[in-house]
Amino acid sequence: MKTARTVCAAIAALVSVFVLGFVEPASAQRARGGDIVDVAKSAGSFETLLAAVEAAGLTDALRGEGPFTVFAPTDAAFERLGDDAITDLLRPSNRPKLRAILAYHVVPERLTSSDIVQPGARTTLLEQPVAFGFTNGSIEVGSAGVRAVDINASNGVIHVIDEVLIPDLSAIESQISVSPAERCRELIALAIERGAPLFNDGSPTACAAVYEVAAEALLELGSEAIPQDATRELAGALRTARDRHTSPTNAAWALRRALDRTFLSLGESMSRTAQAENAQPDA
């Protein structure tokens, strides 16, 4: 076991130079005091992971008290999934699936290299176990190889892996399989969640940009999910927002009103569908 730990330490030192560009003393990491998200940002090799965490709405969770162990796939690991798969995962409509995949990379306790080098398993935030151990001359977590270990943060530790871990999604299929209307409502809620603080902070242009992207995405879905009246209102709001005579503030408000009304109309549509499904046939 001592030999295994020595090899583990060597892997950590060598790969940290490759992935992070330097080997940072533990004392410096403690002095910096950044949380999991801050440390991942400073590394510069986890842009896709961080974008996924943001899209899934998990940033605040990973800034929490912890402790957490994050098995962090590098950008190169995500690239191996393919551009189409990444784009699909980052869609608001796939947020439940993305949250599940990311939760499978987080264990709600601090596991150091000395823990994961030994054969074992821990339950992730997804409530599914992930196995790890020292096999074939390297540390493995699930199907991934560990490429750097013990990157400390104030609320946990990061271990770098070379593959995105995919959990058993059948157990949460009911959460993933949502109706088009539900997905649209989730997209609208996410857009308002991101846009409203920008407006309140004095950035109506940025707010309008967020709302515009959401409105475009909703229109792309067409009649599959959006009522015709809402479709016309969204299209009209986009025309108003893009008119060069419209101020950023008015553009943001025009889009926000259209998004709000679409959200309500989708709720009514879902209610009617539920009523129809539950209706009893005439005797």
Residue 99 has pLDDT above 80, yes or no: yes
At residue 176, the pLDDT reads 57
Q: Which residue has the higher pLDDT, 88 or 19?
A: 88
Residue 3 CA neighbour count, 13 Å, CB half: 2
The per-residue pLDDT of the chain, averaged, comes to 80
Q: pLDDT per residue over 239-273, tens digit each?
A: 999 999 999 999 999 999 999 999 998 876 544 44
The tokens of 281 are what? 């046939």
Q: pLDDT per residue over 135-144, tens digit each?
A: 878 899 999 9
Residue 87: pLDDT band (50, 70, 90) is: confident
Least confident of 76-80, 83-87, 99-103, 232-236: 83-87
At residue 272, the pLDDT reads 46
At residue 174, the pLDDT reads 56
Alpha-carbon span 232 to 238, nearest angstrom: 10
Q: pLDDT per residue over 200-213, tens digit each?
A: 999 999 999 999 98
At residue 220, the pLDDT reads 80
Q: Which residue has the higher pLDDT, 224 or 169?
A: 169
Q: pLDDT per residue over 4-63, tens digit each?
A: 444 444 433 333 333 333 333 343 343 345 899 999 998 888 999 999 998 888 888 898
